[in-house]
């Protein structure tokens, strides 16, 4: 299967990513920008949604208009930090259902520990966008994708703000069917497996917990 990684080059996405990388950007601005970036990414990721023709009656005449015709959409944030991307995406796709996967990365072992999972009942019929700001070692995303597939999901895209090659390779290896969409591929991980330069701990910066 062809490996798929798409990097968003939209100038607004790149500009806003630059601001959230700054240490001095506080939680309020960080949250707003993460949602704005997620919204822009959602615009880009939905450019290929299929359309069909339908006939409607305007106040003046009958005409043919376009309607979305493909699978219904779902958003699955990986908690906590993925929550920060949901509202931005929902502002463009308000009818999408939202599932949740709760995972945290054990700071010692880096293993992803699952503590919550709730998906739409018809997850298998939907096109799911799994969202998390960071793809670092890939352990969390890989575990989340496994958990989601176990519950029936088949059509999945993974959307993150920044990533590194290690995490991308992990997803390609464990989930070759899942295309990855990212705002940047950073040079690597530091000794604590944080993305370097990255933007630090995404959950803590979103929720002000540090
Ligand atoms: C962060 C981030 C990812 C994960 C990425 O979550 O939001 O889920 O780390 O790292 P990985 O690719 O090496 O697994 P974290 O574990 O800090 O949990 P939190 O969102 O609850 O803060
Ligand atoms: N999780 C984060 O929140 N940040 C990183 O850089 C890596 C994992």
Map out the domains of the chain as residue ranges: 5-207
With 0-12 CB in 10 A as exposed, 13-18 as middle and 19+ as buried, what is 204?
Answer: middle
Judge if the beta carbon of residue 43 lies within 6 A of ligand 1: no
The CATH number of 5-207 is 3.40.50.2020
Residues in the chain: 210
- pTM equals 0.95
Query: Is 201's C-beta closer than 6 angstroms to any atom of ligand 2?
Result: yes
Minimum-distance ligand to the CA of 200? 2
Give 10-residue mean pLDDT values along the chain (210 residues): 86 98 96 98 95 98 96 95 98 96 87 93 96 96 96 96 98 98 98 96 93
Pocket residue to mutate for ligand 2, from 107, 195, 210, most atoms within 8 A of Cβ: 195
pLDDT at 2: 60
Nearest CA-CA partner of 202 in 89, 33, 43, 88? 33
Residue nearest ligand 1's atom 3 by CA: 134
Residue 207 CB–ligand 2 contact under 6 Å: no
Q: Which ligand is nearest to the CA of 112?
A: 1
CB 192, CB 200: distance < 8 Å: no
Q: Kindly give the pairing relationship between strand 155-164 and strand 134-135.
A: parallel
């Amino acid at each position: 299967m062809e490996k798929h990684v798409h990097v968003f080059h939209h100038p607004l996405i790149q500009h806003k990513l630059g601001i959230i990388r700054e240490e001095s950007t506080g939680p309020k601005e960080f949250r707003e920008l993460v949602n704005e970036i997620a919204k822009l990414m959602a615009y880009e990721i939905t450019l290929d949604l299929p359309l069909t023709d339908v006939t409607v009656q305007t106040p003046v005449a009958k005409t043919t208009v376009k309607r979305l015709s493909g699978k219904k959409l779902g958003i699955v944030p990986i908690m906590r930090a993925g929550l920060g991307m949901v509202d931005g995406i929902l502002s463009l796709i308000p009818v999408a259902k939202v599932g949740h996967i709760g995972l945290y990365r054990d700071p010692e072992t880096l293993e992803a520990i699952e503590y919550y999972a709730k998906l739409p009942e018809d997850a298998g019929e939907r096109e799911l966008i799994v969202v998390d700001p960071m793809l670092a070692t890939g352990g969390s995303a890989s575990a989340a994708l496994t958990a989601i597939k176990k519950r029936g999901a088949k059509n999945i895209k993974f959307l993150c703000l920044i990533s590194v090659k290690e995490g991308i390779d992990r997803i390609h290896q464990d989930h070759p069917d899942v295309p990855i969409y990212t705002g940047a591929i950073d040079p690597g991980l530091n000794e604590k497996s944080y993305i370097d330069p990255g933007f630090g701990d995404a959950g803590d910066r979103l929720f002000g917990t540090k």
